Structure 1
Amino acid sequence: MQPSPIYVNIAAYKFITFDDTVEKRPQFLARCEELGLKGTILLSPEGINLFLAGLRESIDAFLAWLRADSRFADLEVKESHSDRQPFTKMLVKLKREIITMKNPLIKPEEGRAPAVDAQTLKRWLDRGHDDAGKPVVMLDTRNAFEVDVGTFDNTVDYRIEKFSEFPEVVARHKDDFNGKTVVTFCTGGIRCEKAAIHIQNVGFDSVYQLEGGILKYFEEVGGAHYTGDCFVFDYRTALNPKLEATDTKQCFACRAVVTPHEQLSPYYIPGKSCPHCRKEAAPQPATT
């Protein structure tokens, strides 16, 4: 029996002026389909964001094709592996933003906030302070349901439901971070690119973004100072610090994250319902 093929899963983004997205969309789609790739690519005037999976040679061929465009020659990619294709189709979409913040003044292409790499961040968290002696505060920029799957220990989580809520909520809490170093983070780095710039703009005096996000941190230092897994937007649902798929699932009906324990519920029917659906459908008590 031949071994199952190993699929390479890549995530990448770049903020760069990209004013020919309409013309490029069919080229991207045709190249991906030719190589047998599946996933999602977002094309926007502010750049590109992609999640793709395929066999090694196909992924390498796509990246060589993409990097032949000088705008993407230095595109950095995060990789993980799976024994099955994590996506069901190939989509290339045109968007206003590659990550929606609804703040047109935030332009990472014109200058990003300082970044901290995984090894340095681990050293800071080991010590409890940065190299200047300031306490380090981890600020999660992801949506609440993603945070619930796993996050850094003692992180600040504002329970946002969509990223466009982040600017307003963090501005209200500016004084909470006086005298501290703030490290913003997200799954792969794209959200904290914008988040770190915003909190610099509203007056935070010591701000960093985690280079490459949680996935790069896992790749380089594992799960130190992190509890749980990392939510990802494909069939795997979550990856552990070894970048392996876990038993956590996502309900296709209500989109809630379903833990292994919750999957034991009679209300969990894969592809149809889960205990969270049951809670949402339950009648609410009358108020007087």
Structure 2
Amino acid sequence: MNAVLNVSGYKFAQLDDPRGLRETLLPVARDLGLKGTVLLAHEGINLFLAGDPAAVDALLGLLRRQPGLGDLEAKRSWSSSQPFRKLLVKVKPEIIRMNHPAIAPQNGRAPAVDARTVRRWLDQGHDDEGRPVVTLDTRNAFEVDHGSFEGAIDWRLGKFSDFPAALQAHRAELEGKAVVSFCTGGIRCEKAALVMREAGLEHVWQLEGGILKYFEETGGAHFRGNCFVFDEREALGPDLAPSA
């Protein structure tokens, strides 16, 4: 029986006091019996949590009452056991490290495209203006090896902070194309899309909600393999169930 609710989500928002928010969240999450990781920074929040459904929803409710987090969304999946070993609530310089200070998603997002539109573009081979569509995997190489979109561009990144340099080396191959950047849940492809826009690429979108939202809304069409996740489930199939 899959009785454990797993949620993942992020929100780029200006958090004035991430350390104060940590002091609020940690005892509540601990008392609710939740496990997983919550990362906080001035640029926003990134979370992966699991536990009793009512407890998870209680913490999400607390988060959504915080300034800037009212529309925090969380992708939901289920497991038969707790996939995390402990609870961590950390304050970081960035909720996803890129080492590129000019990129500030909390001040404005790159354009996003929803899962069903991406599927339609991939079905027809071009976007709605006739440009060829390419998918760009912004995850680390070991994650890509578990599965990715058919024909996705993979720069064999060792870590996400390698992305800006890889873009400079490969920028020409993206010119004139509709580029859909994607990652597990959306956080990396959101920053990646902004960096590409900064580099002068005009037709760039982030996949809204990442691979997990794409699985949820399309059943994984055009995706081969599974999606790596950073917990003991290791990877999820298009049905959002553990692959092993």
| Smaller-chain TM-score bracket | over 0.9
Displacement of 1:110 in angstroms is 1.3
2:69 alignment partner AA: F
- Partners in 2 of 1:170 and 1:208 — Cα distance? 15
Aligned to 1:51: 48
- Partners in 1 of 2:76 and 2:144 — Cα distance? 21
2:197 alignment partner AA: Q
Displacement of 1:5 in angstroms is 5.8
Aligned positions, number: 244
Aligned to 2:25: 28
Q: List per-residue Cα deviations over 1:189-208 (Å, max 9, x = no partner).
A: 00011000000110112000
- Partners in 2 of 1:64 and 1:94 — Cα distance? 20
- Partners in 1 of 2:51 and 2:69 — Cα distance? 20
CA contact (8 A) 2:2 2:78 kept: no
TM-score, scaled relative to structure 2 = 0.98
Higher relative contact order (CA 8 A, sep 6+): 2
Q: Which has the larger radius of gyration?
A: 1
- Partners in 2 of 1:61 and 1:126 — Cα distance? 40
Q: Which runs of 5 or more structure 2 residues have no equivalent in the other structure?
A: none
Of the candidates 79, 82, 86, which is equivalent to residue 83 of structure 2? 86
Of the candidates 110, 117, 120, which is equivalent to residue 117 of structure 2? 120
- Partners in 1 of 2:24 and 2:200 — Cα distance? 42
Is residue 187 from structure 1 mapped to residue 184 from structure 2 by the alignment?
Answer: yes
Aligned to 2:213: 216
Aligned to 1:279: none
The two structures, once aligned, show a CA RMSD in angstroms of 0.9
Displacement of 1:107 in angstroms is 0.4
CA contact (8 A) 1:149 1:229 kept: yes
- Partners in 1 of 2:19 and 2:65 — Cα distance? 19
1:78 alignment partner AA: K
Aligned to 2:134: 137
Aligned to 1:111: 108
Q: List per-residue Cα deviations over 1:56-107 (Å, max 9, x = no partner).
A: 1111111111111131110011111101011011100110000000001000
Displacement of 1:212 in angstroms is 0.2
1:47 alignment partner AA: G
Instruction: Give the SS at the match of 2:163.
Output: helix
Instruction: Give the SS at the match of 1:75.
Output: coil
CA contact (8 A) 2:16 2:42 kept: yes
- Partners in 2 of 1:29 and 1:62 — Cα distance? 10
Aligned to 1:172: 169
Is residue 246 from structure 1 mapped to residue 236 from structure 2 by the alignment?
Answer: no
1:121 alignment partner AA: V
Displacement of 1:23 in angstroms is 1.7
Aligned to 1:281: none
TM-score, scaled relative to structure 1 = 0.83
What does 1:56-67 correspond to in 2, within 5 Å?
56-67=53-64
The percentage of aligned residue pairs carrying the same residue is 56
- Partners in 1 of 2:179 and 2:226 — Cα distance? 22
Runs of 4+ in structure 1 over 6 Å off:
none
- Partners in 2 of 1:218 and 1:84 — Cα distance? 22
CA contact (8 A) 2:10 2:47 kept: yes
Aligned to 1:9: 6
